[in-house]
Amino acid sequence: MLTLTAKLKSASIVAMAVAALSATPALADDITLWTLNFDNNAANVALKKIASDFEAANPGTHVEIVQRAVDEHKTALRVAAGSDKGPDIYFSWAGLGLGGEYVKAGLSLPLDKYYTEYKWNDELLPSAAAFADLYPGGKRGVPFTFKGEAVYYNKKLFEQAGIKEEPKTYEDLLAAAEKLKAAGIPAFTFGGTVNWHVMRLMDVILETKCGADKHDALKAMKVDWTKEQCATDAFAEFAKWTKDYTLQPFMGIDNKQSYSLFTAGRAAMMLEGDWLVGQLDGSGANLDDYGIFPFPTNTDRLYGFAEYNYVSTKSKSPDMAAKFLDYFLSDKVQQDLVGQISSISVNKNVKYTNQKPLEAEWLDIFKKYSNVYMNGDQAFPLDVTTEYFRIINEVASGNVEPADAAKQLQSFIASRT
Amino acid sequence: MSLRQTTHDPRTQAFILLVPALVIYAVFALYPMLNVVFLSFQKWNGLDANRQFVGLANYTAIFTRDPVFWVAFRNTVIWTLMSLVFPPMGGLLLALSLNQKIFGRNSLRAIFYLPVIIAPIAVATMWKWMYDPFFGLFSQMLTSWGMQAWIKDWLGNKDIALYSVFVAYIWQTVGFSMVLFLAGLQNVSLTLVEAARIDGAGRFAVFKHVTLPALRPTITIVLVLSIISSLKAFDIVYGLTGGGPAQSTQMLALWAFTQAMQIFDFGRGAAISVVLLLITMAVVIPYLRWTQKHEEVES
């Protein structure tokens, strides 16, 4: 049984707690970041450390990080969009696809004044920062990570086929593929069940055949796919690559099976992102056996996509949100983050030491290119992406003729309401 | 009638006892169902604060402009027809076999029923590896038998992908039909069987004239449940092909999910769901009427 003193103490504690709760207003400098629960736990730990370091540097400020799985995150953002609650900063992909939807729905605050105030363009990799300019009405978001995609090749298989150097032009690549075919080696491996994997091949061929401006206009659906001969040519070229220069069968396997086939030496090349270096290293592969080169499109643009952090239009503290993003992007924080969130920082002032040769090659690639073209599933709205996947798969399976492919895609685009 | 008398009325008591279940049903089944019907007349991407009323536009779009809807519809019909034939027939044959007094009968029943309790997504993962054209079980077996020419891209060839998925579905569901038929077989009168045999009937004649008529209610239940289960086919297709290649294994349930939860066109997703609901009701309502009549006759 409690004594009177104990009862009084308990009552006092409860009263104090109630008083404290009722008297504490929501701090104006509280900010919330909604992001993903990353598979790479080092990224989760690093994010929490950044938040606590920022709080220490800005007394009275509290940064709450809410992490969710991909689908839950998307759903939470949609629910938040319909209410006045939500995060100050949210993670999403860059581009007109998924990230663009939130921008279009008015969920993303233009950040032009913060770009000027914090001089973000002086510290960001141009290729990573370019995505902020995709939207009308100002700059949206800042880069969180930037992923480049290029051709990984098996050096031994290249040697076996008599290929002496990395292809510099599209014609060189075609010649290399032909040599590989003559040597009985499939040039590429893809996984067809995950539509986006084969889509990469179509994207790079479209860039090659149509050039940068036309490619962008096609992806932005500003020109007619049936009236641009290059689009039909790209589908025809894509059909040729999937028929003649791709490890068969590929429509029934996924990207992971495709990766296993690549590391088993069943195909000479794979069109993958910079993250594959870590994957190869982690699986015990000898990195010296592999080389990389950007898919030669002859347009001087790098194939890639970015993940961004956006400031919400519903944020009560946009200034503090921008300050936090500035802290995140700062040279010091990004230097400390190397290898934890991504192998390559979005900050161009970061110094890299003890890099593996493939990582160093990637860094050179990132520094070389200032323009990017993005993956089809990031560029198109979601419904068009789904149809783009279907048509690509039909062409790859030989069920739809290239001219008809362009016609079907345009017909779908035209019928959108 | 006083309050006391009212509360003692069995009908009132039944109603009071039903209220909690009715409330739960109304909140978690009826309301979402009605909401889906309303949503099918609206345009909403899950982001906009307001849903725009568009009348029949979603239905017009899926019936006339959606390049996948009719493929999904056709696949659902094919799937349903196959579901009416193969799992019930397999289940009946298994039940007839395992109704005999054979060694290990109970263990075999458990083994054949086991796939039913495995999560469909796990079944899909398992079969996906078996179907791998390079390292999968079937390809390895065919290779070891020198039959490389028979190796197919089981899940990547649009001409056979749907059937490949269906084989996995049969493996998973045949045990369910088997259990129902086994239960039905216990109601077959042994006296009638004996009488038929005394009259000179062979095994097939006994099966045709005694067993089969006695199994008629079970057959109806198995067929109706097979139809309902096939119309809902989702997870195994999602896990094995995701609807591909080129949407060739797409089903109505999966396409409704894709439209709503991946493309975020909730209106069209709802319209497809309503179509599926109507088809299901067209099957279920006659079944419910039949069972009601059957119960009335029995009582």
Domains of chain B, by residue range, sit at 67-298
Residues in A closer than 8 angstroms to B155, CB to CB, are 193, 251-252
Percent of chain B with pLDDT over 90: 61
Amino acid at B8: H
Per-residue pLDDT reduced to its tens digit, B133-157: 998 999 999 999 999 888 889 999 9
**What CA–CA distance (Å, rounded) separates A201 from A239?**
10
**What CA–CA distance (Å, rounded) separates A30 from A28?**
6
Q: What is the pLDDT of residue A28?
A: 53
Q: Which residues pair with B135 in a beta bridge?
A: none
Q: Which residue of B has its CA nearest to A394?
A: B246
The DSSP result for chain B, as a single string, is: --HHHHHHSHHHHHHHHHHHHHHHHIIIIIHHHHHHHHHTTEE--SSSSSPEE-TTHHHHIIIII-TTHHHHHHHHHHHHHHHHHHHHHHHHHHHHHHTS--TTHHHHHHHHHHHHHS-HHHHHHHHHHHT-TTTSHHHHHHHHTT-GGG---TTT-TTTHHHHHHHHHHHHHHHHHHHHHHHHHTTS-HHHHHHHHHTT--HHHHIIIIIHHHTHHHHHHHHHHHHHHHHT--HHHHHHTTT-STTTT--HHHHHHIIIIIS--HHHHHHHHHHHHHHHHHHHHHHHHHHHHHHHHH-
Domain chopping of chain A, boundaries: 27-147+304-366, 148-303+373-414
Note whether A399 contacts B158, CB cutoff 8 Å: yes
Q: Which residue of B has its CA nearest to A389?
A: B246
**What CA–CA distance (Å, rounded) separates A334 from A339?**
10
Residues in A closer than 8 angstroms to B264, CB to CB, are 78, 101, 382
How many C-alpha atoms does A265 have within 13 Å on its Cβ side?
A: 9
Contact A33, A87 (CB under 8 A): yes
Contact A37, A44 (CB under 8 A): yes
How many C-alpha atoms does A112 have within 13 Å on its Cβ side?
A: 7
ipTM score of complex: 0.84
Residue B213 corresponds to which tokens in the numbers above?
């008529």
A78 closest CB neighbour out of B47, B131, B262: B47
Residues in A closer than 8 angstroms to B156, CB to CB, are 192-193, 249-253, 397
Which is the CATH superfamily of the domain at A148-303+373-414?
Periplasmic binding protein-like II (3.40.190.10)
Per-residue pLDDT reduced to its tens digit, A17-69: 444 444 444 445 799 999 998 877 788 899 999 999 999 999 999 999 999 98
Q: Give yes or no for residue B294 having a pLDDT over 80.
A: no
Residues 132..191 of A with a Cβ closer than 8 Å to B: which? none
Whether A397 and chain B come into contact, CB under 8 Å, resolves to: yes
Question: A60: closest CA among A331, A309, A323?
Answer: A323
Contact B138, B128 (CB under 8 A): no
Question: A245: closest CA among A165, A176, A294?
Answer: A176
Note whether A249 contacts B45, CB cutoff 8 Å: no
From residue A210, give the alpha-carbon distance in Å to each of A200, B51, B267.
15, 39, 36
Q: What is the pLDDT of residue B79?
A: 95
Residues in B closer than 8 angstroms to A391, CB to CB, are 246
Q: Which residue of B has its CA nearest to A81?
A: B47
The mean pLDDT value of chain B amounts to: 90
Note whether A192 contacts B156, CB cutoff 8 Å: yes
Q: Which residue of A has its CA nearest to B161?
A: A252
Pick the CATH number of B67-298 from 1.10.3720.10, 3.40.50.300, 2.60.40.650, 2.40.30.10: 1.10.3720.10
Assess whether the region A27-147+304-366 and the region A148-303+373-414 belong to the same CATH fold. yes
Note whether A81 contacts B57, CB cutoff 8 Å: no
Q: What is the pLDDT of residue A130?
A: 85
Q: Give yes or no for residue B6 having a pLDDT over 70.
A: yes
The stretches of A142-294 forming alpha helices (DSSP H) are 155-160, 170-182, 195-219, 229-244, 255-263, 276-282
Contact A141, A132 (CB under 8 A): yes
Whether A383 and chain B come into contact, CB under 8 Å, resolves to: yes
**Residue A316 to chain B, least CA–CA distance (Å):** 19
Pick the CATH number of A27-147+304-366 from 3.40.190.10, 3.40.605.10, 1.20.120.450, 3.90.1170.40: 3.40.190.10
Q: What is the pLDDT of residue A293?
A: 96
B148-171: b or e for each residue (b if 16 or more CB lie within 10 Å)?
A: eeebbbbbbbbebbbebbbebbbb
Residues 238..277 of B with a Cβ closer than 8 Å to A: which? 241-242, 244-247, 258, 261-265
A390 closest CB neighbour out of B67, B155, B264: B67
Note whether B155 contacts A252, CB cutoff 8 Å: yes
Q: What is the pLDDT of residue A22?
A: 43
Residue A136 corresponds to which tokens in the numbers above?
């009308």
Higher pLDDT, B114 or A29: B114
Q: Give yes or no for residue B250 having a pLDDT over 50.
A: yes
Ranges of chain A whose pLDDT falls below 70: 1-28, 417
Whether B127 and chain A come into contact, CB under 8 Å, resolves to: no
Note whether A193 contacts B241, CB cutoff 8 Å: yes
Per-residue pLDDT reduced to its tens digit, B159-214: 999 999 999 999 999 999 999 999 999 988 888 888 988 888 888 899 898 998 88
Note whether B133 contacts A249, CB cutoff 8 Å: yes
Residues in A closer than 8 angstroms to B46, CB to CB, are 78, 81-82
pTM for this entry = 0.83
